[in-house]
């Protein structure tokens, strides 16, 4: 997981936001696709 977060932080520096969430939990993917606030959003400050 640390490796993924490190990669996402590098992407954030270039202006790309990322979101980490548990897609195994029922309904999470649908919530994400419908724009609901799920998981952890990683962006540059």
User: The tokens 């977060």 sit on which residue?
Assistant: 5
Q: What is the 3-state secondary structure (H, E, C) of the chain?
A: CHHHHHHHHHHHHCCCCEEECCCCCCCHHHHHHCCCCCCEEECCC
Tell me what the pLDDT averaged over the chain comes to.
94
Q: What is the mean pLDDT of residues 8-33?
A: 96
Q: Grade residue 2 by pLDDT with cuts at 50, 70 and 90.
A: confident
| Full-model pTM | 0.74
19-31: pLDDT as tens digits: 999 999 999 999 9
Residues 9-27, mean pLDDT to the nearest whole number = 95
Give dist(CA 10, CA 4) in Å, integer.
Answer: 10
């Amino acid at each position: 997981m640390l490796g993924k977060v490190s990669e996402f932080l590098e992407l954030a520096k270039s202006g790309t936001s990322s979101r980490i969430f548990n897609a195994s939990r029922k309904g999470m993917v649908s919530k994400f696709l419908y724009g609901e606030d799920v998981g952890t959003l990683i962006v540059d400050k």
